[in-house]
Amino acid sequence: MTSSIEPLFQTARLRVRRWIAQDLQALEDVYGDRDAMRWVGDGEPLSRLQCEEWLQVTDANYRKRGYGMFTVEARGTGAVVGFCGLVHPGGQPDVEVKYAFLRSHWGQGLATEAVAALLAFAGEILGIEHVIATVAPDNTASHRVLAKARMTQRSPRHNPDGSITHVYEWRAPNTA
């Protein structure tokens, strides 16, 4: 059953909307999965409390910026399959695309579909002209998603701890 929350945008297979409190269990299912979180932050899954806090942070981002993380549902069924959004991790000035999906929905092209539509939404509706994405060098699945979503790889980021983060970027049409 599709939620009653109005979608922000849709694709052939997906419906994307703002987070609601009822998404807490789905958030925990995705972000509490150690394998799914292997490439995110410190690689540790989030606790239920951290997911509750993230709901609040995202609500504040909606009020402050008009965007944040969004829920991705399967069209027709309304089942939550994952999350995608536009964020400013650690207060960075660059808008950054983030996404994560339930493991049961990996390998179906849903992340690519969601990211491509999210970038179009960012440019056409939000008026955002530049978005980045960061990815670990060994996260080949995310490298493929970002390339297929028409993001281009730029110079890697050399982190203070000696590690390297690959950086992709997207520019709105007519702003490059």
Report the chain (176 residues): mean pLDDT per 10 consecutive residues.
76 95 92 81 84 92 94 93 94 94 89 96 96 93 94 93 94 78
Domain ranges (residues) in the chain: 9-171
Cα distance between residue 154 and residue 151, in whole Å: 9
pLDDT score, position 40: 77
Cα distance between residue 63 and residue 54, in whole Å: 14
| Backbone dihedral angles phi then psi of residue 62, each to the nearest 5 degrees | -60, -45
pLDDT score, position 35: 83
For tokens 């929350």, the residue is 5
pLDDT score, position 80: 95
pLDDT score, position 25: 93
Measured in residues, the chain has a length of 176
- Global pTM reads 0.91
CB distance 18 to 27 below 8 Å? no
In SS3 terms, 63-88 reads as: HHHCCCEEEEEECCCCCEEEEEEEEC
Assigned CATH topology for domain 9-171:
Aminopeptidase (3.40.630)
pLDDT score, position 175: 63
